[in-house]
Amino acid sequence: MMRVLLMGNPNVGKSALFSRLTGVHVMCSNYPGTTVSYCTGRMKYGGEMVELVDVPGTYALTAENPAEKAASEMLPEGDVVIDVVDATNLERNLYLTLQVLESGKPTVVALNMSDDARHLGVEVDVDDLERSLGVPVVETVAVTGEGVKRLVDRLSEARTVGGERSDEERWKEVGHIVSKVQKLHEKDHTFTEALEDATIKPLTGIPIALAVLFLMFSFIINTGNFIIENVLDPFFIGVYGPLVRGLVEGVFPSGMMHEILLGSGEDFIESLGVLTTGVYVPLDMVLPFVVLFYLALSFLEDVGYLPRLATLMDNLMHRIGLHGSAIVPTILGLGCNVPGVLSTRILETKKQRFISATLMALCIPCLAQNAVIIGLLSRYGLRYIAITYATLLALYVVVGLALNRFIPGESPEILLEVPPYRRPDPRSLLKKTWVRVKYFITDAVPYVLLGVLAVNLTYVTGVVSFIAGFFGPVMGELFGLPEEAAIALIVGFLRKDVAVGMLAPLGMSAEQLTIASTILAIYFPCIATFTVLYRELGLKDLLKSMALMVVVTVVVGASLKAVLL
């Protein structure tokens, strides 16, 4: 099968063009030996199906970082190359173009974002550029589909150039071509351009970021709760529950298999059955928020806001061994830790992924838990809410600094290309969301089922009762809490917001509730997050993360007791 490589710098619209060319059926994976991801799909060309590969975005083929290494190793495997060039920044893009042409691969150049170039007053003589490069050049606007059909039609005209230049000769050639084919016209600063500048400067960018996050979470919370209350809960309670219980009880009316499959009781959350809790938790409690988060994330990504947010947070994140892009998993974790942990794959090194996932499990409560904490403590005044969240914020920084210092490995610099704001294409937006949601369903849900099964077995064998009896006295001695609070800790392993809610009837003071809420936020994550952590980190790193959680929980709980009680 013919293989077409889609190559180009980061943020030149390759993903949007790939989406236009391949339709729905794509497969994404990491390039062997790296954490760099790439996608493959199929498109129709000349009456036959050909394979299209979305090569990792790179500025050069010098193999100085994982993306460049993957791109340079994939280049010989292609039959034809579509080199995607940002029409608004020819000088930067043409260096890679010349390297691709020197490789001797038949090439066609897609001069993408030609609409943005026109808006910016950048005029490119396409015919002259084609003559200068010696290969076909087609103007495209990937997000709208403009020029995409013509690009495919001209694949048959792909030509080989070859040759070899030194680095200095290559840059001289780039300068010569740009001076010949590009003209710049005076253009007034538009409102969009002013907004682009404002969102990247700390003084204005931080308030804008807070406003964007507030609007995003309001949309996710309200829409997600509406879907759960009006669509999913009625289905599970009225249709799925009676059906699955009838089927299981017809085969296993009682006994251990009945307990494993259905658990005990009618409540979907507390029953701990594989077919009740195991299905309900990921598909009813988590999935709506995952879908909405990925939709919102894809929207902010396609609009062009996420690179600006990452740049805005870059200096702070570097202090804890991460870079600005790590803000994306953190944002996702504020809604649901499951997609947050999954999204740590965007980070380049094992060290960065461990730090990001561990900090999320320790310091980032999910939306549901945040709502219950605020509802529980707000009756006593903002002081206690502030203590809880100030503690979590301080932990994020302090633990992050410590992990950066003591965890071996590299935290490399990343150069982010900040694209202009664009109107997202709905079709591309929905497709990207679907690919991410499908990955969550196929990769995370099975581990949630296994986790529920494991917890179920601890209940059936009496291990939970033993743990509650053991930790009851510890709660009072270490944290100044009643023994009954130990049950909330155990339930928190299944669902943190329910566990926090269980603290309300225990008759605790405001100070005790603050300590208990903070402890519940930082000790072991809920079962869905725990199982995904195992999937992403592996057993060895998960055990390290768990050990840190235990130590931090004890230290913070004891410290808060000393200060507040």
Q: What is the pLDDT of residues 406-430, one digit of tens each?
A: 888 776 555 455 677 888 888 888 8
Contacts of 521 (CB under 8 A, 6+ apart): 363, 365, 369, 373, 388, 392, 496
Q: Is the pLDDT of residue 357 over 50?
A: yes
> How much is the pLDDT for 415?
47
Q: Reduced to 3 states, what is the DSSP secondary structure of residue 83?
A: strand
CATH code of the region 3-184: 3.40.50.300
Pairing of strands 107-112, 3-8: unpaired
Q: Is the pLDDT of residue 143 over 80?
A: no
Contacts of 452 (CB under 8 A, 6+ apart): 272, 273, 274, 277, 278, 281, 527
Q: What is the pLDDT of residues 474-502, one digit of tens each?
A: 777 888 888 767 776 776 666 665 666 56
Q: What span, in angstroms and rounded, lies between the C-alpha atoms of 517 and 379?
A: 14
Q: What span, in angstroms and rounded, lies between the C-alpha atoms of 515 and 489?
A: 12
Q: Is the pLDDT of residue 269 over 70?
A: no
- Lowest average pLDDT, out of 103-107, 143-147, 443-447, goes to 443-447
Per-domain residue ranges of the chain: 3-184, 203-564
Q: Is the pLDDT of residue 99 over 90?
A: yes
> How much is the pLDDT for 93?
94
**Confidence class for position 97, pLDDT limits 50, 70, 90:** very high
Q: Is the pLDDT of residue 48 over 50?
A: yes
Contact 74, 55 (CB under 8 A): yes
For the residues 301-321, what does the mean pLDDT come to? 79
Structure tokens that stand for 563 in this block: 């200060």
> How much is the pLDDT for 474?
75
Cα torsion 403, 405, 410, 416 to 10°: value is 80
Nearest to 57 by CA among 391, 414, 398, 308: 414
- Lowest average pLDDT, out of 245-249, 259-263, 520-524, goes to 259-263
> How much is the pLDDT for 536?
85
Sheet holding 3-8, edge to edge: 26-30, 37-45, 48-54, 3-8, 80-86, 107-112, 137-139
> How much is the pLDDT for 6?
94
Q: Is the pLDDT of residue 183 over 80?
A: yes
Percent of the chain predicted with pLDDT > 70: 85
Q: Is the pLDDT of residue 368 over 90?
A: no
Q: What span, in angstroms and rounded, lies between the C-alpha atoms of 380 and 126?
A: 67
> How much is the pLDDT for 522?
87
> How much is the pLDDT for 65?
74
Question: Measured between alpha carbons, how far is residue 504 from residues 311, 401, 507 in Å?
Answer: 41, 35, 7
> How much is the pLDDT for 443?
64
Q: Is the pLDDT of residue 137 over 70?
A: yes
Average pLDDT along the chain: 82
Pairing of strands 80-86, 107-112: parallel
Q: Say how far residue 306 (Cα) sits from the centre of its chain.
A: 11
Strand partners, 40: 27, 53
Contacts of 439 (CB under 8 A, 6+ apart): 28, 342
**Confidence class for position 151, pLDDT limits 50, 70, 90:** very high
Give the containing element (helix H, strand E) for 437. helix 426-443
Q: What span, in angstroms and rounded, lies between the C-alpha atoms of 122 and 116?
A: 8
Q: What share of the chain is helix, strand, coil (3-state, %, to 5)?
A: 65, 10, 25
Q: What span, in angstroms and rounded, lies between the C-alpha atoms of 395 and 553?
A: 11
Strand partners, 48: 45
Q: Cβ of 81: how many Cβ atoms within 10 Å?
A: 26
> How much is the pLDDT for 418?
63
pLDDT: which is higher, 283 or 84: 84
pLDDT: which is higher, 99 or 192: 99
